[in-house]
Amino acid sequence: KAGVTQTPRYLIKTRGQQVTLSCSPISGHRSVSWYQQTPGQGLQFLFEYFSETQRNKGNFPGRFSGRQFSNSRSEMNVSTLELGDSALYLCASSLVTGGLSDTQYFGPGTRLTVL
């Protein structure tokens, strides 16, 4: 079974621009979560989508948004980019069997650099 895929793998943008990142979950997985990884703040939860609905949200400004499509694929958008948005953005999918024991499986990430 193919793993979680993320596109693109690398992005370079300038301040003020916006960016859209894409995530395809493992086949059959219905939950997609997004995380930001930086050297200073570590791994931080952005949001989670399940059945096209945002189910949980972290402490990020409104510039960070996402959505999920009917095929469970998810996109994340960052508007008005700032230098501090430079990070590795990780997507994770899980099966959702109904409990908190579900394992999240991560993609390779998208490395975003803001100049």
Partner 1 sequence: AQSVAQPEDQVNVAEGNPLTVKCTYSVSGNPYLFWYVQYPNRGLQFLLKYITGDNLVKGSYGFEAEFNKSQTSFHLKKPSALVSDSALYFCAVRDEAAGNKLTFGGGTRVLVKP
Length of the chain: 115
Contact (CB, 8 A) for 34 and 93? no
Percent helix, strand and coil across the chain, each to the nearest 5: 5, 50, 45
Q: Does 93 bind partner 1 (CB under 8 A)?
A: no
Among 76, 81, 92, 114, binds partner 1 (CB under 8 A): 92
Q: Is 68 near partner 1 (CB under 8 A)? A: no
- Choose the stretch contacting partner 1; rule: CB under 8 A; options: 12-20, 42-50, 60-68, 73-81: 42-50
What does the alpha-carbon distance between residue 41 and residue 90 come to, in Å, rounded to a whole number? 14
Using rule CB under 8 A, residue 31 touches partner 1: yes
Q: Which residues pair with 9 in a beta bridge?
A: none
Query: Which chain residues interact with partner 1 by CB under 8 A?
Result: 4, 6, 31, 33, 35, 42-43, 45, 48, 50, 55-56, 58, 90, 92, 94, 100-109
